[in-house]
Amino acid sequence: MSENLPGDVFQECDETLVPFYKRFHKVFLHAKDHFLYDSNGREYIDLAAGISVTSFGHCNKQVNDAIKKQLDEILHVSNLFYIPGQAVLSRMISEKSFDGKTFFCNSGAESNETALKIARMTGNAKSPGKNRVKGLDPLLPNVEFVEFDSAADLEKKFGDDVCAVFMEAIQGESGIRPVSGEFAAKVSELAAKHDALIVMDEVQCGLGRAGKYFGYQWYDLQPHIITMAKSLGNGIPIGAVHVVPEVADKMQPGMHASTFGGNYVAVAAAVAVMKLLDDELLAHINEMGDYLESKFEALDEFKSGSVGEVRRKGLMIGADIVKRPVAEVIEALLDKGFVTLRAGENTLRLLPPYTITPKEIDAFGDALADVL
C-alpha cells in the first residue's frame, strides 16, 4: 500500500462494491498520452487505453480544454431543448461514415439497445412479425446467434422475418477477429434480399481503432446503422447511434429517449475527438500497428509456436498465447510496467492510445520477449 493512498483502499473497495470485477491491486493517480502513473509514482506504458476508450491519449489537451470550457458555460439541459453541438457532432460522424442522423446516449450497450429498438420498429412497420435479429447473444426473444464468420450458417438462419443483422467488423472481446470479405458480402447480399438492416457495432473497432474511420470501411458493405461509444468521448461517457435517413425518418418523438444523452460536455469532448480523427492520424495508427505486429513476429516464441495466431487491424491486436494462461502473461507485463488486456479464450489483446510511438513499442517488444 502506498503512502499516497488513504487507509487500505483495496479492502475498502472490496467491502463496499458489488464484486462484478476482478481488479488488479493497483491505483493510478494520473496519466498523460500513453503513460499511466500509479500511487507509488511508478510509470507504466498503457497498451489498453482503458478498453479502447482514451484512444486519443490520456488527458488529451484539445479534448480536455473543450471539456473545461464547456463545463463552466452549461453542462445539462434536457433533450426537450435544442443542443447545437449535437448537430455539429452528427455532421462530423456523417463526414467519416455516411450521411445519416444520430441519436446520442451514454454507452455502447445503450447504443446497441437503441439500434435494436430501431431495427425492430422498422421491421414491424414493414410487416408484422418482421423482428428477428441475427448476431447477438440469445438473451432476448427472437434474437439468434450466427456462427462466427459462417456465411452458410447466416444463410440457413436468414428469412423474410429478419429485421436486422448485428455484427462487429472486427470482433473485440472474442479475441480480435476480423470477419472475412466473403462473410461481409453474404451479409450485404442477404440483407438486401430479405429487406433487413445491417447494424455495425463500432463501439470497439470504430473511430480509428482498426485503422479506418470505422471498421466496416475495410469491407464492401454499407450499413444502415452504426453504433459507437468507447473512444468517442476519450473517457467522457458518450454513445451514438448513426442511422441512414430512410430509417431515421420513420422514428417518432416518444419512441425512445435518453436523459443524459448528448449533454453539452459529452458533446464538446466528442467534437474535439472528431477534430483529431483525420487521415494523418489513420496513417500513424496503421504504421504503429504494423510495427507492433512485427514485435510479435520477431519473437522466438512465435516461431516455436508458444505464441499462436496474431490478428490485427490498425491498433487492435490479438495474439493467442498457447502454452500458459494469458492472465500470467498480463500480470508479468504489468510487473514490468505495461498495461495490457485479455480477450477471448487465451488472447493477449492490445489497444494502445494512438499517441504511441516506436520507442514504447520497442520497450514492449523487449518486455514481452522477457516475459515469454
Q: Please report, as ranges, the residues that interact with ligand PLP according to CB under 6 A.
A: 107-109, 112, 168, 172-173, 201, 203-204, 229-230
CB nearer to ligand PLP: pick between 21 and 82: 21
> Of 235, 313, 239, which Cα lies nearest the Cα of 57?
235
- The residue behind cell 486519443 is 56
Nearest approach, Cβ of 111 to ligand PLP (angstroms)? 8
Strand order in the sheet with 225-228: 101-105, 239-243, 225-228, 197-201, 162-167, 132-134, 143-144
Count, residues in the chain: 372
- Of the two residues 179 and 372, which places its CB atom closer to ligand PLP in the complex? 179
CB of 80 to ligand PLP, least distance (A): 25
Which residue in 196, 200, 199, 198 sits closest to 212, CA to CA? 200
Nearer to ligand PLP, 161 or 173 (CB): 173
3-class SS of residue 285: helix
CB of 107 to ligand PLP, least distance (A): 3
Q: Which of 39, 34, 74 is nearest to 54 (CA)?
A: 34
Tell me the CA distances in angstroms from 273 to 57, 112, 222, one per residue in order: 10, 21, 24
Phi, psi of 132 (to 5 degrees): -85, 145
In the complex, least distance from residue 3 CB atom to ligand PLP, rounded to whole angstroms: 34
Nearest approach, Cβ of residue 36 and ligand PLP (Å): 20
CA–CA separation, 325 and 268 (whole Å) = 41
The nearer residue to ligand PLP, 212 or 230, going by C-beta atoms, is 230
Q: Any alpha helices (H) in 162-308, and if so which ranges? A: 181-193, 245-248, 264-276, 279-297, 300-304
Shortest Å distance, C-beta 190 to ligand PLP? 22
Rg for the chain, CA atoms, rounded: 21
| Sequence-separated (6 or more) residues with CB below 8 Å from residue 66 | 268, 269, 271, 272
Query: 10 Å Cβ neighbour count for 279?
Result: 8
User: Of 201 and 360, which CB lies nearer to ligand PLP in the complex structure?
Assistant: 201
Closer to ligand PLP by Cβ: residue 316 or 361:
316
**Closer residue to ligand PLP in complex, CB, 154/170:** 170
- Least CB distance to ligand PLP at residue 239 (A): 6
CA dihedral 340, 343, 348, 354 (to 10 degrees): -50
Residue nearest to ligand PLP (CB): 108
Edge-to-edge order in the sheet of strand 35-38: 28-32, 35-38, 43-46, 338-339
Nearer to ligand PLP, 121 or 200 (CB): 200
Beta carbon nearer to ligand PLP, 50 or 337: 50
State the minimum distance, in angstroms, from the CB of residue 237 to ligand PLP. Answer: 8
Is there a contact between 180 and 203 (Cβ–Cβ < 8 Å)?
A: no
CB of 249: closest distance to ligand PLP in angstroms? 26
